[in-house]
Copies of this chain bind each other. A is one copy, B any other.
Amino acid sequence: MTGAVALPLTEPSLRFEASGDAVVERSVLANGLRILTEHVPGARSVTLGFWVPIGSRDERTGTDGGITAGSTHFLEHLLFKGTSNRSALDIAIAFDAVGGEHNAVTAKEYTCYYAKVRDLDVPMAVDVMVDMLANSLLSEVEFETERGVILDELAMGEDDPNTVCAEGLFARLFAGSALARPIGGTSADILVAARDAVWEHYRSGYSPRQLVVTAAGGVSHGQLRELIEAAVSSTAWADAPDAAPVSRRATMPEGPVRVDGGAHAIARPIEQCTLMLGLPGLAVTDPRRATLSVLNSVLGGGMSSRLFQDIRERRGLAYSVYSSAPSYSDQGAFVLAASCSPANAGEVADRLWEQFLLLADRGVDDQEIARAFGQLSGSAALALEDSDTRMTRLGRAELMTGEFLDLDATLARLAKVDRAQLAELATEIAAGTPVLTAVGAVGDDFARDRACSTSDRATTGAGHR
Q: Which residues of A are at the interface with B, using a C-beta cutoff of 8 A?
A: 42-45, 80, 88-89, 91-93, 95-102, 116-118, 121, 144-153, 155-156, 158-159, 161, 269-272, 301-305, 308-309, 312-320, 339-341, 370-371, 374-382, 385-386
Known contacts A44-B385, A269-B269, A371-B97, A121 near B159 by CB under 8 Å: no
Contact A159 B319 (CB under 8 A): no
Q: Measured between C-beta atoms, what is the minimum distance from A362 to chain B in Å? A: 19
Contact A101 B319 (CB under 8 A): no
- Chain B residues contacting A149 (CB-CB under 8 Å) are 312, 316, 318-319
Q: Measured between C-beta atoms, what is the minimum distance from A191 to chain B in Å? A: 13
Contact A155 B271 (CB under 8 A): yes
Contact B95 A303 (CB under 8 A): yes
When C-beta atoms are compared, the residue in chain B nearest to A315 turns out to be B145
Contact A309 B118 (CB under 8 A): no
Q: Measured between C-beta atoms, what is the minimum distance from A137 to chain B in Å? A: 15
Given A97-B375, A151-B341, 4 other A-B contacts at CB below 8 A? Answer: A45-B381, A91-B303, A95-B302, A100-B379
Known contacts A89-B304, A92-B302, A96-B302, A159 near B272 by CB under 8 Å: yes
Q: How many chain copies does the complex carry?
A: 2
Contact A99 B303 (CB under 8 A): no
Known contacts A309-B89, A314-B145, A319-B149, A98 near B378 by CB under 8 Å: yes
Q: Measured between C-beta atoms, what is the minimum distance from A274 to chain B in Å? A: 9
Contact B341 A152 (CB under 8 A): yes
Q: Measured between C-beta atoms, what is the minimum distance from A272 to chain B in Å? A: 5
- Chain B residues contacting A315 (CB-CB under 8 Å) are 145, 148
Contact B382 A45 (CB under 8 A): yes
Question: A116 to B378, alpha carbons, bound, how many Å?
Answer: 10
- Chain B residues contacting A312 (CB-CB under 8 Å) are 149
Q: List 26 A-B contacts (CB under 8 A).
A: A43-B385, A44-B381, A44-B385, A45-B385, A89-B313, A92-B302, A92-B304, A92-B313, A93-B304, A95-B302, A95-B303, A96-B305, A97-B375, A99-B376, A99-B380, A101-B379, A116-B382, A117-B378, A117-B382, A144-B316, A148-B316, A149-B316, A152-B318, A152-B320, A156-B272, A158-B271
- Chain B residues contacting A320 (CB-CB under 8 Å) are 152, 156
Contact B145 A308 (CB under 8 A): no
When C-beta atoms are compared, the residue in chain B nearest to A440 turns out to be B159
- Chain B residues contacting A382 (CB-CB under 8 Å) are 45, 99-101, 116-118
Contact A319 B152 (CB under 8 A): yes
- Chain B residues contacting A97 (CB-CB under 8 Å) are 304, 370-371, 374-375, 378
Q: Measured between C-beta atoms, what is the minimum distance from A89 to chain B in Å? A: 6
Q: Measured between C-beta atoms, what is the minimum distance from A281 to chain B in Å? A: 22
- Chain B residues contacting A375 (CB-CB under 8 Å) are 96-99
Contact A92 B303 (CB under 8 A): yes
Q: Measured between C-beta atoms, what is the minimum distance from A375 to chain B in Å? A: 5
Known contacts A159-B271, A272-B156, A382-B99, A145 near B313 by CB under 8 Å: yes
Say which residue of B96, B146, B148, B380 sits within 8 Å of A304 (CB atoms). Answer: B96
Question: A309 to B89, alpha carbons, bound, how many Å?
Answer: 8
Question: A118 to B385, alpha carbons, bound, how many Å?
Answer: 11
Contact A96 B371 (CB under 8 A): yes
- Chain B residues contacting A301 (CB-CB under 8 Å) are 96
Say which residue of B99, B158, B319, B339 sits within 8 Å of A379 (CB atoms). Answer: B99
- Chain B residues contacting A269 (CB-CB under 8 Å) are 269
Known contacts A155-B271, A159-B161, A313 near B88 by CB under 8 Å: yes
- Chain B residues contacting A42 (CB-CB under 8 Å) are 42
Question: A4 to B314, alpha carbons, bound, how many Å?
Answer: 48
When C-beta atoms are compared, the residue in chain B nearest to A372 turns out to be B96
Q: Measured between C-beta atoms, what is the minimum distance from A192 to chain B in Å? A: 17
Q: Measured between C-beta atoms, what is the minimum distance from A174 to chain B in Å? A: 25
Q: Measured between C-beta atoms, what is the minimum distance from A268 to chain B in Å? A: 9
Q: Measured between C-beta atoms, what is the minimum distance from A266 to chain B in Å? A: 14
Known contacts A45-B385, A149-B312, A312-B149, A156 near B96 by CB under 8 Å: no
